[in-house]
Amino acid sequence: MTTYLEVDGLSLNIAGAWHINRSLLRLLGGAAKRLEHTTFPYVAGQVAYQPYLDLSVFDLELVVKGDNNVHGTPYADKIAGKIANLVYLRNNLFDLIDITVAATLYMDTGNMTADVQVANAVPVDLGATALVTFDLIVPAGRFEPVGS
């Protein structure tokens, strides 16, 4: 099994259409747990607040091709197919700017999930392919194992 990411039910690894350009294992990191303390007047010592995680932002790269569409149907013209795939991704992934959706990181060792937001998609035309950089924002700070 290959490690791959699915956002709002859309796989980001579809042969002939698009795939993530960098290792997804960096999604296993994330924000550090922070502890905060405060001092109240007339109280000895400090009072600890609940520990929390900061949000994490991961910059990802998606290589978009025009060999086939999301369903595996081949395109006659690869350049037109690339454009069609970019439009599909814009409508089904990159327009998720103001909402939070579920994401799952599938791995051989077990799956991890997080609620995410997608932002700042910037496509660059490379001829037969396109490279789209975008931010994957994890408000909770990190992906968590399924069932935890």
pLDDT at site 41: 64
3-state SS class at 87: helix
pLDDT at site 36: 58
Q: Which helix (H) or strand (E) holds 78?
A: helix 78-89
pLDDT at site 96: 75
* Average pLDDT for 121-147: 92
Rounded to whole angstroms, what are the CA distances from 105 to 6, 17, 28, 74? 7, 19, 9, 27
pLDDT at site 2: 77
Compute the distance between CA of residue 107 and CA of residue 123 in angstroms, rounded to an integer. Answer: 27
- 42 has pLDDT over 80: no
Percent over 90 (pLDDT), the chain: 61
- 32 has pLDDT over 80: no
More confident residue, 140 or 73: 73
Q: How would residue 26 be classed by pLDDT, with cut points 50, 70 and 90?
A: confident
pLDDT tens-digit series, residues 67-105: 999 999 999 999 999 999 999 999 999 987 789 999 999
Structure tokens at 82: 């690339």
| Domains (range + CATH), the chain | 4-23+56-145 (2.40.30.200)
- 1 has pLDDT over 60: no
Does the pTM surpass 0.75? The reply is yes
The torsion angle over the Cα atoms of residues 98, 64, 1 and 31, rounded to 10 degrees, is -40
